[in-house]
Amino acid sequence: MFTRDCRTGLAALGMLALSACGNLAGQGGAQPSSSGASQAVYAGDRPAAGIQYGIGAAASPAQVAAWNIDVQPDGSNLPAGSGSVAQGRALYAQACASCHGQQGEGKPMDRLVGGKGTLNSAAPVKTVGSYWPYATSVYDYIHRAMPFNAPGTLSPSDVYAATAYLLYMNGIVPENAVLDARTLPQVRMPNQDGFIGPDPRPDARNAACMKDCGR
């Protein structure tokens, strides 16, 4: 280990590294220390199998559940709760409008409303309404990332409500819509068919590896 580090160091540092390496080599160079503990731990550069370091703790099911928030396009993993357009209107005014505009028109941050029918034009306007293929992804994104200055603070019902209001402003759901784990996946987005898959480019390999990847 020391020998290899020294070669790298030599190239970078010249004579200074040379003298340091000389000292290390004098102490035994690549050999592990003579104490039994470190000889048992190191097998080459890697810890030997089965070694326990005694640090950390196993994550509890509750901790794992708290991180397991991914919502898939088909709606799997959507949590319990529900939210209406009306509830979303109030939430949006309070928690979103300062960055995204009163009507989702953007400024100072991303525009969230409009742009439908512009994607094929010279000036496409990409918003949640015009571009995003799945309503469930709107839930997923808001839940994990918004409000930008306090992500993770919205309850599932708040997120359903915010999603409902955004979809309503984009003309995708009616004003009386109530979204939950059952109704949200049924919402069809205008650009759902605007994405192609699998990727047809001959140099793109996009089969998802789910097991023993890299072997």
Provide the binding-site residues for ligand HEC, judged by CB under 6 A: 95-96, 98-100, 109-110, 112, 127-128, 138, 141-142, 146-149, 162
Identity of the residue, 98 or 192, whose beta carbon is nearer to ligand HEC in the bound complex: 98
Of residues 6 and 131, the one with the C-beta less far from ligand HEC: 131
Rounded to a whole number of angstroms, the minimum distance from the CB of residue 109 to ligand HEC is: 4
CA angle 144, 145, 149 (to 5 degrees): 135
Question: Which run of H or of E encompasses 82?
Answer: strand 82-84
CB of 8 to ligand HEC, least distance (A): 37
Tokens of 6: 């020294």
> Measuring CA to CA, which residue among 85, 84, 86, 108 is closest to residue 97?
108
Q: How far is the CB of 198 from ligand HEC (least distance, A)?
A: 24
Closest distance to ligand HEC from the beta carbon of 56 (Å): 31
Q: Which residue, 3 or 98, is less far from ligand HEC as judged by CB?
A: 98
- Angle between helices 2-13 and 15-26 in degrees, nearest 10: 160
User: How many alpha carbons lie under 13 Å from residue 201 in its C-beta half-sphere?
Assistant: 4
Closest separation in Å from C-beta 13 to ligand HEC: 40
CB nearer to ligand HEC: pick between 6 and 96: 96
**For the packed helices 135-145 and 156-169, what is the interaxial angle rounded to 10 degrees?**
130
Cβ nearer to ligand HEC, comparing 129 with 185 = 129
